[in-house]
Every structure is written in C-alpha cells, then in structure tokens.
Amino acid sequence: VPVIGVLALQGDVREHVAALAAAGADARPVRRPAELDAVDGLVVPGGESTTISKLTDIFEMREPIDKRIVDGMPVYGSCAGMIMLATEVLDGRPDQRGFSGIDMTVRRNAFGRQVDSFEAPVDITGVPGEPFHAVFIRAPWVERVGAGVEVIGSVTGGPAADRIVAVRQGNLLATSFHPELTGDLRVHAYFVDLVRSVS
Ligand code: GLN
C-alpha cells in the first residue's frame, strides 16, 4: 500500500487524507521533514497559497520537498496546491514561492473576476468514465504550459470554456478544482496509481 502524505500546514488537509484512504492509500498529514521522509507521494491541498508558502518556510519544508520532487516523488496539487506547483504565478503576492514544480504559468483567482465559486464538467485524460464534476473555489487557471507538460483537463462549457484546469508533468499532477469535496474518488485513485507505479 503506497504511503501518501498531505502537506498539513494550512488548507483542507482532512478531506484529502480521507479521499486518499478511501482510494486505497495509507494517508497521513505531513508537516515535518522526518514525516516527509516516510511517504512515497505528497498532496498539496487547497487553501491559501500565500499562507502555505509562508508556512513552508517557517516549518523548513521547502528544501526537503524540492529535493524529493527532483528525486521523482509524485506530488498532486489541488487549487492552492496547483499554484504551489507552478513555476510562474500571475496575480500572486510578490513574496509567495512555489516548489520546483510544473513548467507552467497559472493565474491566481482567475475565475473570480466573473464568479467566486462554480461547478463544471471536466474531461480528464487518463480518468475513465463520465466527465468529472469539478468544484472550483477562487481557483487558478493555467495560461501557459511548457513543452514537457501534458494538458489533461479543460472546462467543457460555459463562460470559462476551454480553460486549462488539469495538467501533468512526469510525476507531478495538478488540478484547479477540488476532487476531495465531491466524493468522486477517481482523481485520487489516479494519483494513488501513479504513486504505486513509481514506489
Ligand atoms: N485563491 C487561493 C490561492 O490563491 C486558492 C483557493 C483554493 O485553494 N480553493 O491560493
């Protein structure tokens, strides 16, 4: 059984731990370097990316997480977690910093100029079945991806149609939305499979 940590500095940690456990992982909160050493994969939850960035430094987790990413540890970032995995952030705070993550540009609170929170169907490459019912809460979208980044999900209709909301680069996965809130375990199962395949 793959051991998967949820970065537990701020955000909806419990919901991700529950979803990962239901998807077959040994899931646990992680906030110390020694706890990080014990996991095969990591989830960076939704919350507030500026706060997560700040607490990452206070808890001295930045270097250990970057090191594990370079070593190939799978990481899944949801919403604020997606922002923490982006190499470039628009509309961010000048002092917020992400991990050595996905070669992409995300815009913070991107949908928020029209509407704060909304739900929309998203087709995700590699996730079989019906389109995913995605919940967006002050979510980012992806405005640029580098050559090594695969776009695996976009909004299918409505005012935000075609916006990129799910990407993968190697063992790094990110979604703008919150699958941990819907009871649909397919994204977490996809990540658990990814962790299983490399550990
Ligand atoms: N707007 C938040 C941020 O910038 C993300 C919101 C969320 O994670 N639901 O970090």
Among 44, 117, 138, 175, the mutation site with the greatest number of ligand 1 atoms within 8 A of its Cβ is 138
Q: pLDDT at position 114, please?
A: 56
53 annotated as ligand-binding: no
Q: pLDDT at position 83, please?
A: 98
Amino acid at 138: R
Ligand 1 atom closest to Cα of residue 83: 10
Q: pLDDT at position 193, please?
A: 98
Q: pLDDT at position 113, please?
A: 61
Q: pLDDT at position 151, please?
A: 98
Residue closest to 71 by CA, chosen among 31, 35, 99: 99
- Domains present along the chain, CATH in parentheses: 3-198 (3.40.50.880)
- For residues 29 and 54, is the Cβ–Cβ distance under 8 A? no
Which residues of the chain form beta strands (DSSP E)? 3-7, 26-30, 41-44, 75-78, 86-90, 102-107, 117-124, 132-137, 141-145, 150-155, 164-169, 172-175
User: What's the CA gap between 97 and 62, in Å, rounded?
Assistant: 9
Each of the 199 residues of the chain gets a pLDDT tens digit; together they read: 999 999 999 999 999 999 999 999 999 999 999 999 999 999 999 999 999 999 999 999 999 999 999 999 999 999 999 999 999 999 999 999 999 899 999 999 998 765 778 899 999 999 989 999 999 999 999 999 999 999 999 998 888 899 999 999 999 999 999 999 999 999 999 999 999 999 8
Task: Show the tokens assigned to 95.
Answer: 């002092």
Q: Mean pLDDT score of the chain, rounded to an integer?
A: 96
Q: pLDDT at position 21, please?
A: 98
Q: pLDDT at position 116, please?
A: 79
